[in-house]
């Protein structure tokens, strides 16, 4: 370990921080340290302005807003794909901003899962977010398979996955793989490049759920030759509650008809011919289903412009420095009080948040909220701390750890019950 980290040292880092200017663009409550950007990012003035712009067009033009105004709604998601593409390392034609993570999984599986008699299983993992697994199970059921057609890679420590364990499960009966890029609890980053190579060597289609990596670290989906990916935009991308998600589908797959077709997947020049024969768009837009949810898409213009201006590489560099410092502070001050860190320590395997565990985590989280720190709790005993490069400061990391320390040493957590709330 380095020498002890002081609050003054962190203040100096804040003064030198090239991303500090973006903090002023967010609506922050100065009574609160917000460390939950991995569940819901905060509102920025730019995202608010781009939402207001769509509201204004609606006010002025009514139905004509689809073709009139600064950003006609009919082409709105194309513009979002342009802004999104650099964040996933893909061509804009391979990206579509639409749906939600879960509906996009349904679309991608319905499109790319083409089971045969010999090759019909889907490979996932036992640590993924439940919605992904529900979607996979229901897609298998729709094709007439039972739950045993879903293979879930086991974790050895309950927190992380080994690349070799995943590869060992890529057997001849696997048709498709869906894995998270970053595990939502421990924050482990999977080696997407190697996993994709190994899957392709065995003739398996592979895709990733980027919910916990998009806007937090760079991706090279096209260079890695990943087949498909899905993500949400309300976590590290700050698009607002329920903002529309994204999907990537490698250009080599654009020949496939969408498994779930709808009129917004049409070639835009033919869409209003109102024919009953579907004329599929030639790009990832083909996998949209219905009318874009404009009010949930609108904030993304401002949010993505800001992210691209900051650059994802600068965001990743600051994010790693923040979790490095947090790891040191937690090791020094909280590990002696019974906390353990389960996030991988290696940079290449660490995402944007830190996961710490304590037997009293549910009520420690409640005490933290009462003291003005917003983390999130994941049953049974995890606390996620997510310092966000665009709006958190280094000094906040120091204050967070000091406050948690006082909650423990003064036993303030004992005032609360050790059980989770309905939304945790």
Ligand X SMILES: *Cc1c(COP(=O)(O)O)cnc(C)c1O
Q: Which of 93/125 has CB closer to ligand X?
A: 125
Least CB distance to ligand X at residue 60 (A): 31
The reply, when asked if residue 209 is annotated as ligand binding, is yes
3-state SS record for the chain: CCCCCCHHHHHHHHHHCCCHHHHCCECCCCCCEECECCCCCCCEHHHHHHHHHHHHHHHHHHHHHHCCCCCCHHHHHHHHHHHHHHHHCCCHHHEEECCCHHHHHHHHHHHHCCCCCCCCEEEEECCCCHHHHHHHHHHHHHCCCCHHHEEEECCCCCCCCCHHHHHHCCCCCEEEEEEECECCCCCEECCHHHHHHHHHHCCCEEEEECCCCCCCCCCCHHHHCCCEEEECCCCCCCCCCCCCCEEEECHHHCCCCCCCCCHHHECCCCHHHCCCCCCECCCHHHHCCCCCCHHHHCHHHHHHHHHHHHCHHHHHHHHHHHHHHHHHHHHHHCHHHCCEECCCCCHHHECCCEEEECCCHHHHHHHHHHCCEECEEECCCEEEEECCCCCCCHHHHHHHHHHHHHHHHCCHHHHCCCCCCCCC
Least CB distance to ligand X at residue 245 (A): 6
Q: Which of 128/196 has CB closer to ligand X?
A: 128
Q: Which of 366/378 has CB closer to ligand X?
A: 378
The reply, when asked if residue 22 is annotated as ligand binding, is no
Binding map of ligand X across residues 198-217, x = CB under 6 A, - = no contact: -----------x-xx-----
Among 131, 169, 308, 331, binds ligand X (CB under 6 A): 131
Least CB distance to ligand X at residue 310 (A): 22
Least CB distance to ligand X at residue 180 (A): 5
Least CB distance to ligand X at residue 237 (A): 12
Q: Which of 101/393 has CB closer to ligand X?
A: 101
Least CB distance to ligand X at residue 324 (A): 23
Among 41, 65, 180, 258, binds ligand X (CB under 6 A): 180
Among 34, 73, 113, 184, binds ligand X (CB under 6 A): 184
| Binding footprint of ligand X, residue count (CB under 6 A) | 13
The reply, when asked if residue 413 is annotated as ligand binding, is no
209 pairs with which residues across the strands?
180, 230
Least CB distance to ligand X at residue 127 (A): 10
Q: Is 101 in the site for ligand X (CB under 6 A)?
A: yes
Among 28, 66, 82, 102, binds ligand X (CB under 6 A): 102
Task: Tell me which residues in 223-262 interact with ligand X (CB under 6 A).
Answer: 232, 245
The reply, when asked if residue 291 is annotated as ligand binding, is yes
Q: Which of 131/395 has CB closer to ligand X?
A: 131
Among 100, 266, 288, 296, binds ligand X (CB under 6 A): 100
Regarding beta strands 205-209 and 228-231, do their DSSP bridges make them parallel or antiparallel, or are they unpaired?
A: parallel
The rounded Cα 258 to chain-centroid distance in angstroms is: 23
Least CB distance to ligand X at residue 238 (A): 14
What are the binding residues? 101-102, 129-132, 209, 212, 234, 263, 291
Name the binding residues for pyridoxal 5'-phosphate. Answer: 101-102, 129-132, 209, 212, 234, 263, 291
State the residues that interact with ligand X by CB under 6 A. Answer: 100-102, 129, 131-132, 180, 184, 209, 211-212, 232, 245
């Amino acid at each position: 370990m380095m020498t002890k980290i002081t609050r003054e040292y962190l203040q100096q880092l804040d003064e030198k921080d090239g991303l500090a200017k973006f903090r002023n663009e967010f609506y922050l409550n100065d009574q609160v340290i917000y460390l939950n950007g991995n569940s819901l990012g905060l509102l920025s003035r730019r995202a608010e302005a781009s939402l207001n712009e769509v509201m204004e067009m609606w006010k002025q033009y009514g139905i004509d807003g689809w073709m009139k105004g600064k950003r006609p709604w009919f082409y709105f998601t194309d513009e979002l794909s342009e802004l999104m593409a650099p964040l996933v390392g893909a061509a804009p034609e391979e990206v579509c901003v639409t749906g939600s993570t879960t509906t996009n999984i349904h679309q991608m599986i319905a499109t790319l899962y083409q089971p045969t008699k010999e090759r019909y299983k889907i490979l996932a993992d036992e640590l993924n977010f439940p919605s992904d697994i529900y979607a996979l199970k229901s897609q298998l059921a729709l094709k007439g398979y039972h739950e045993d057609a879903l293979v879930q890679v086991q974790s050895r420590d309950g927190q992380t996955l080994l690349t070799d364990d995943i590869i060992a499960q890529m057997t001849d009966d696997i048709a498709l793989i869906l894995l998270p890029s970053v595990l939502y609890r421990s924050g482990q980053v999977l080696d997407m490049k190697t996993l994709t190579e190994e899957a392709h060597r065995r003739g398996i289609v592979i895709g990733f759920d980027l919910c916990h990596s998009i806007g937090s670290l760079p991706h090279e989906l096209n260079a890695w030759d990943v087949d498909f990916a899905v993500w949400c935009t309300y976590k590290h991308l700050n698009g607002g509650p329920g903002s529309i998600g994204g999907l990537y589908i490698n250009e080599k797959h654009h020949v496939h008809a969408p498994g779930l077709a709808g009129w917004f997947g049409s070639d835009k020049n033919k869409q209003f011919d109102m024919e009953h024969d579907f004329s599929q768009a030639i790009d990832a837009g083909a996998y949209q289903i219905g009318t874009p949810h404009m009010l949930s898409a609108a904030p993304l213009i401002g949010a993505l412009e800001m992210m691209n201006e900051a650059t994802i590489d600068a965001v990743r560099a600051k994010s790693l420095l923040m979790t490095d410092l947090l790891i040191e502070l937690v090791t020094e001050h909280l590990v002696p009080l019974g906390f353990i860190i389960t996030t991988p320590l290696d940079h290449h395997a660490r995402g944007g948040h830190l996961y710490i565990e304590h037997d009293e985590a549910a009520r420690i989280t409640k005490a933290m909220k009462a003291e003005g720190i917003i983390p999130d709790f994941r049953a049974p005993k995890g606390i996620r701390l997510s310092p966000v490069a665009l709006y958190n400061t280094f000094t906040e990391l120091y204050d967070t750890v000091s406050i948690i320390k006082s909650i423990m040493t003064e036993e303030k957590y004992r005032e609360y019950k050790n059980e989770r709330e309905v939304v945790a």
